[in-house]
A and B are shown apart, each in its own frame.
Chain A
Amino acid sequence: MSLLEVRNLHVAVGGDEILKGIDLQVNVGEVHSIMGPNGSGKSTLAQVLSRRETYQVTNGEVVFDGKDLLAMKPEEAACEGVFMAFQYPVEIPGISNPYFLRSALNAIRKHRGEDDMDAMDFLPMFREKLKLLEMDEKLMNRSVNEGFSGGEKKRNEILQMAVLEPKLAILDETDSGLDIDALRIVAKGVNTMRSPSRAMLVVTHYQRLLNHIVPDFVHVLVDGRIVRSGGPELALELEAKGYGWIEGQARRIMPASA
């Protein structure tokens, strides 16, 4: 069943066209990876899908779970089940992690017409997820992301994903800034979240993350277009030959006038 359908998506920032016609179909249960060199538009795609308003959609449509995603505000998209793990998670001083997450969870539950989850039910569930991410409970007494190391921030993103249980999880360069141990832990967290009722979009520059989170499909984004799609072996090929190889091919396929 198709969960996300992106058709001919064009996106501009301040008049510059960044995405130049993206077509992408993601079914539930699938993990797709978007790879590409710096500046190819990977992060833009992730941000547009999570409805950041600084980007202007100039053409195309996105259907998420049967609904028009581009008509949604960020919080509506979130409540419908779109989650983005941020490349640069921000700090929220004075607000504890459990309080923040429970507020978010209850906003989503309210949207679905469900009752609030109280602290008594929330905490045991929260502790389970902490264990999964091998995170120290003491860290959770601190404010959201405040004083967290780069790795802790990324792990915290996956922890939030585990608590909010989205339908579509977008991981934006989650591997950047992670050492090998943190990478393993993050990947383990993500892998336990793989489910027949959930899809994931893993945006990454490097192949190494995909050794741990093996995608079903790999798409290569160059200059705002998906120039090649394939299975996990495509990532390995890219790793061996570099982006230059595929950029050269892309240029041959699409003349500069395009």
Chain B
Amino acid sequence: MRTNINTIRDLAERDYKWGFVTDIEDERVPKGLNEGIIRLISAKKREPEFMLDWRLKAYRHWASLEKSQAEPKWANIKYGPIDYQKIVYYSAPKLKPALKTLDELDPEILRTYEKLGIPLAEQKMLAGVAVDAVFDSVSVATTFKEKLAELGVIFCSFSEAVQEHPELVRKYLGSVVPHTDNFFAALNAAVFTDGSFVYVPKGVRCPMELSTYFRINAAETGQFERTLIIADEGAYVSYLEGCTAPIRAENQLHAAVVELVGLDNAQIKYSTVQNWYPGDKEGLGGIYNFVTKRGKCLGVNSKISWTQVETGSAITWKYPSCILQGDNSVGEFYSVALTNNCQQADTGTKMIHLGKNTSSTIVSKGISAGHGQNTYRGMVKILKGATGARNYTQCDSLLIGDKCGAHTFPYIEVKNSTARMEHEASTSKIGEDQLFYLQQRGLKTEDAVSMIVNGFCKQVFRELPMEFAVEAQKLLGVSLEGSVG
């Protein structure tokens, strides 16, 4: 046991070397939320004054909403009351109980890891097994950071950014998702403890997919994370978030915020694969994933693309959106959301057209199996000044079995008569004839379902970076296990 503890400590220190984790070990603040807690969090993180002020403003706003029970009520999801005073809002990096070998792990999880083809070293990290071998990502991470530094790309933890680049944080924090945006965004603004920060300078094309090598670290991200990505004029960046491996987190409520800012001619591509613990087959446990993600195309000709593959969480409440402010700016949203067993998802996007000749594309693929309830909710808003705006929306639902549900709520608001809008929607069921056809060619039921579903999602998968797309396909197969027959 002693050696295990040492190994973990080694690991924690190694994490620190990467600059991704704060230097406080095993410290927690008391349960509950009040101004004192906010001050404590800010002090522990040695934040500048402006951060504390911002957090306090957010907290006061949240507290006023909480008093009037202003959790958003419009979503098509059901869950019991959340006691916000029972949550611990700050804790140092978790020391997971270590297992000696992978054999001690729940065989169900192990089997899933194998199906997804996750390398052994990563499996151990994810499962919290004491890692004895040298973890080669450390060296990879170092070379990676050096290369980025040469180009002037800043890629670090949010805490580090607050210390090292306060001027950038101050300028852009809350500029896309203000603390007043919604209940969960206010909560996040008040208490967030860490997250990622990216700044790509003028004219730089970031040469690698960010966060690829930090996948394991990303799996450790907390309950209230915050991400801010800024692409300066003419810059390009592709950011990957998430992990295909199933993650069992201790905390049920996850309220993250992601803000993207694109200046003139900038491009940001943000891809997510989300596979948080969905709860068991009866619907017990599982993560509430209440996330606010938004990008602002601030400059002319800028472009922001969201691609998401959502298979996890008990409840997903998430609308990655684009504010198309710069003329000729482009917003895209490609989504696959899968609900199996008792999962609920209310997800979609908002495209707000402000600038001239702005265009947006929405492709949403919802898959429901078991008792899963899947809702697409999307808003396209063309404001008065958005002359020549265009939107194309395609919204498809696939049902597997007869106990699940698919729901679609498109909102369209047009205030400029030159706008061109297209909306296509379809609902289909995996038919017995399709299944039989594939089985007659030798494919097992499970593989046949997986093939049909992957075909259905192809339009979205091809937007994902190559290696992520392959993983996402496998993930869908695993998530659908047992949904037919």
Q: Is the CB of B432 closer than 8 A to any CB of chain A?
A: yes
User: Is there contact, CB below 8 Å, between B432 and A95?
Assistant: no
Q: Is the CB of B239 closer than 8 A to any CB of chain A?
A: no
Binds B, one of A61-69, A78-86, A122-130: A78-86
Given A93-B455, A94-B456, A94-B459: A50 and B440 interface contact (C-beta under 8 Å): yes
Q: Is the CB of A54 closer than 8 A to any CB of chain B?
A: yes
User: Is there contact, CB below 8 Å, between A75 and B455?
Assistant: no
| Contact partner, B437, options A54, A89, A105, A143, Cβ 8 Å | A89
Q: Write the nearest CB–CB distance from B397 to chain A, whole angstroms.
A: 14
| Contact partner, A79, options B431, B442, B455, Cβ 8 Å | B442
| Contact partner, B442, options A95, A111, A143, Cβ 8 Å | A111
User: Is there contact, CB below 8 Å, between A107 and B451?
Assistant: no
Query: CB-CB < 8 A to A73: which residues of B?
Result: 439
Q: Is the CB of B452 closer than 8 A to any CB of chain A?
A: yes
User: Is there contact, CB below 8 Å, between A92 and B452?
Assistant: yes
User: A86 — nearest CB in chain B belongs to which residue?
Assistant: B437
User: A47 — nearest CB in chain B belongs to which residue?
Assistant: B436
Query: CB-CB < 8 A to B432: which residues of A?
Result: 54
Q: Write the nearest CB–CB distance from A163 to chain B, whole angstroms.
A: 10
Sample (26) of A-B pairs whose CB atoms are under 8 Å apart = A52-B436, A53-B436, A54-B432, A73-B439, A75-B442, A78-B442, A88-B433, A90-B434, A92-B434, A92-B437, A92-B452, A92-B455, A93-B455, A93-B456, A93-B458, A94-B454, A94-B456, A94-B459, A95-B454, A100-B451, A101-B441, A103-B443, A104-B441, A107-B441, A107-B444, A111-B442
| Chain A: interface residue total (CB-CB under 8 A) | 32
Give the residues from 207 to 226 in chain B that come closer than 8 angstroms, CB to CB, to chain A.
none
User: Is there contact, CB below 8 Å, between A75 and B452?
Assistant: no
Report A's interface with B, CB cutoff 8 A.
Answer: 50-54, 73-75, 77-79, 83-84, 86, 88-90, 92-95, 100-101, 103-105, 107-108, 111, 143, 160, 164
Q: Write the nearest CB–CB distance from B338 to chain A, whole angstroms.
A: 15
User: Is there contact, CB below 8 Å, between A107 and B436?
Assistant: no
Query: CB-CB < 8 A to B454: which residues of A?
Result: 94-95
User: Is there contact, CB below 8 Å, between B443 and A107?
Assistant: yes
Report B's interface with A, CB cutoff 8 A.
Answer: 431-434, 436-445, 447-448, 451-452, 454-459
Q: How far is the CA of A101 from the CA of B441 in the complex (A)?
A: 8
Q: Write the nearest CB–CB distance from B220 to chain A, whole angstroms.
A: 35
Query: CB-CB < 8 A to A53: which residues of B?
Result: 436
User: Is there contact, CB below 8 Å, between A104 and B437?
Assistant: no
Q: How far is the CA of A104 from the CA of B442 in the complex (A)?
A: 5
Q: Write the nearest CB–CB distance from A160 to chain B, whole angstroms.
A: 7
Query: CB-CB < 8 A to A83: which residues of B?
Result: 440-441
Q: Write the nearest CB–CB distance from B434 to chain A, whole angstroms.
A: 5
Q: Write the nearest CB–CB distance from B183 to chain A, whole angstroms.
A: 38
User: Is there contact, CB below 8 Å, between A108 and B459?
Assistant: no
Known: A92-B451, A104-B443. 7 other contacts (CB 8 A): A73-B439, A75-B443, A75-B444, A75-B445, A78-B442, A94-B459, A95-B458
Q: Write the nearest CB–CB distance from A131 to chain B, whole angstroms.
A: 22
Closest 3 CB pairs of A and B: A94-B455, A94-B458, A104-B441
Q: How far is the CA of A73 from the CA of B438 in the complex (A)?
A: 12
Query: CB-CB < 8 A to B434: which residues of A?
Result: 90, 92
User: Is there contact, CB below 8 Å, between A160 and B438?
Assistant: no
| Contact partner, B439, options A78, A95, A108, Cβ 8 Å | A78
Q: How far is the CA of A223 from the CA of B447 in the complex (A)?
A: 38
User: Is there contact, CB below 8 Å, between B455 and A78?
Assistant: no
User: Is there contact, CB below 8 Å, between A94 and B457?
Assistant: yes
User: Is there contact, CB below 8 Å, between A74 and B436?
Assistant: yes
Q: How far is the CA of A50 from the CA of B442 in the complex (A)?
A: 11
Query: CB-CB < 8 A to A84: which residues of B?
Result: 440
Q: Write the nearest CB–CB distance from A193 to chain B, whole angstroms.
A: 16
Q: How far is the CA of A121 from the CA of B437 in the complex (A)?
A: 25
Query: CB-CB < 8 A to B447: which residues of A?
Result: 103, 107
User: A54 — nearest CB in chain B belongs to which residue?
Assistant: B432
Q: How far is the CA of A83 from the CA of B434 in the complex (A)?
A: 16
User: B441 — nearest CB in chain A belongs to which residue?
Assistant: A104
| Contact partner, A160, options B439, B441, B452, B459, Cβ 8 Å | B441
Query: CB-CB < 8 A to A79: which residues of B?
Result: 442
Query: CB-CB < 8 A to B451: which residues of A?
Result: 92, 95, 100, 103
Q: Write the nearest CB–CB distance from B258 to chain A, whole angstroms.
A: 29
Query: CB-CB < 8 A to A75: which residues of B?
Result: 439-440, 442-445, 448
| Contact partner, A92, options B438, B439, B440, B445, Cβ 8 Å | B438
Q: How far is the CA of A107 from the CA of B432 in the complex (A)?
A: 20
Query: CB-CB < 8 A to B439: which residues of A?
Result: 73-75, 78
User: A75 — nearest CB in chain B belongs to which residue?
Assistant: B439
Q: How far is the CA of A83 from the CA of B443 in the complex (A)?
A: 12
| Of listed A50, A73, A94, residue having the most chain B CB within 10 A | A94
Q: Write the nearest CB–CB distance from A256 to chain B, whole angstroms.
A: 35
Query: CB-CB < 8 A to A92: which residues of B?
Result: 434, 437-438, 451-452, 455
Query: CB-CB < 8 A to B443: which residues of A?
Result: 75, 103-104, 107
User: Is there contact, CB below 8 Å, between B437 and A90?
Assistant: yes
Q: How far is the CA of A173 from the CA of B448 in the complex (A)?
A: 25
Q: How far is the CA of A103 from the CA of B451 in the complex (A)?
A: 10
Query: CB-CB < 8 A to B458: which residues of A?
Result: 93-95
Q: How far is the CA of A105 from the CA of B441 in the complex (A)?
A: 8
Query: CB-CB < 8 A to B431: which residues of A?
Result: 90
Q: Write the nearest CB–CB distance from B18 to chain A, whole angstroms.
A: 38
Q: How far is the CA of A101 from the CA of B437 in the complex (A)?
A: 12
Q: Write the nearest CB–CB distance from B100 to chain A, whole angstroms.
A: 34
| Of listed B436, B437, B438, B442, residue having the most chain A CB within 10 A | B442
Q: Write the nearest CB–CB distance from B456 to chain A, whole angstroms.
A: 6
Q: Write the nearest CB–CB distance from A141 to chain B, whole angstroms.
A: 13
Q: How far is the CA of A88 from the CA of B440 in the complex (A)?
A: 13
Q: Write the nearest CB–CB distance from B452 to chain A, whole angstroms.
A: 6
Given A103-B447, A107-B447, A143-B455: A90 and B441 interface contact (C-beta under 8 Å): no
